[in-house]
Homo-oligomer: A and B are copies of this chain.
Amino acid sequence: MQTTDKPTTRYTHRHERAVAAAAAIFADKGYHGASTRDIAEKLGIQQGSLYYYFKSKEAALEEVCLTALRDYVSHIESIASQPGKLEVKLQAAIAAHLATYKHNNEAMKVHNEQRLYLPKDRRKHLNALGSRYRQQLEGIFCEGVSTGQLRRDLDCHFTALSLIGLCNYWGIQLLRSAPLKTEDVTEKCVDILLHGCLARKAGIPDTDTQTDTQVN
């Protein structure tokens, strides 16, 4: 009990691997379509042994969703709290969102697609984290409006949600089609969100946005 660290470390490590395996399987087959045997197999252990790490299959799903959200939320909070120009912040927020998909892809996918299969009370914690994310993002837009960088009539709530929808969509696409590059998608999302699609009527070089280069 001196090095109360070593055994804890060992368990922690194995536990993490178990969560990752669950994430991969749930992402692939869906919560109900996946069996505990599938997850165990991926870990190279027997089905029954899985219950050393998870109290139940449902608990495994909850853990997977939580690991996805933790990074995600802490990231946006650090971005939102730092001072800086709006466009830079927004770019950072989108890049972070997509990067989370790139690195933590299975867990994010599971959170988005399978979370509703958790009973309501198990989702409370997840909802709280999700709200925090949304608020931070909304805050970035509101700040942009009050500093005059964004349109005064912008609906920040609607815009924040739309951005989340957009990022989730492209996050999934990034997983599915390999040739897609995160940076390109980020840039394009920023561009379309800020400038829209309409032809600009004349010399509107705007702030200092370089005219967007065609990527793909």
Binding site for B on A (CB under 8 A): 29-33, 113, 117, 141, 144, 148-155, 157-159, 161-162, 164-166, 168-170, 173, 188-189, 192-201, 204, 206-207, 211-216
A199 / chain B contacts, CB cutoff of 8 Å: 148-152
- In the bound complex, do residue B188 and residue A198 qualify as a contact, i.e. CB atoms below 8 Å apart? no
- A206 CB to closest chain B CB (Å) equals 7
Q: A32-B32, A197-B141, A206-B198 are in contact. Are A214 and B153 (CB under 8 A)?
A: yes
Beta-carbon nearest neighbor of A204 in chain B: B201
Q: How far is the CA of A144 from the CA of B199 in the complex (A)?
A: 9
- In the bound complex, do residue A170 and residue B159 qualify as a contact, i.e. CB atoms below 8 Å apart? no
- In the bound complex, do residue A159 and residue B197 qualify as a contact, i.e. CB atoms below 8 Å apart? yes
Q: A30-B30, A211-B153 are in contact. Are A194 and B193 (CB under 8 A)?
A: no
Interface centre among A151, A168, A170, A197 (most CB of B within 10 A): A197
Beta-carbon nearest neighbor of A171 in chain B: B165
Q: A150-B197, A200-B151 are in contact. Are A161 and B173 (CB under 8 A)?
A: yes
- A42 CB to closest chain B CB (Å) equals 18
Q: Knowing that A159-B192, A198-B206, A198-B207 are A-B contacts, what are 10 other residue pairs whose CB atoms are under 8 Å apart, sorted by A's residue number?
A: A30-B31, A30-B32, A151-B195, A151-B200, A153-B213, A162-B189, A194-B196, A195-B196, A196-B196, A204-B204
- In the bound complex, do residue B169 and residue A216 qualify as a contact, i.e. CB atoms below 8 Å apart? no
30 A-B contact pairs sorted by A residue (CB < 8 Å): A29-B32, A29-B117, A30-B31, A30-B32, A31-B33, A33-B117, A113-B113, A148-B199, A149-B199, A150-B197, A150-B198, A151-B195, A151-B198, A152-B199, A155-B215, A158-B188, A159-B192, A161-B169, A161-B173, A162-B170, A162-B189, A162-B192, A164-B169, A165-B166, A165-B170, A166-B169, A194-B197, A194-B198, A195-B198, A201-B206
Q: How far is the CA of A97 from the CA of B67 in the complex (A)?
A: 34
A193 / chain B contacts, CB cutoff of 8 Å: 192, 196-197
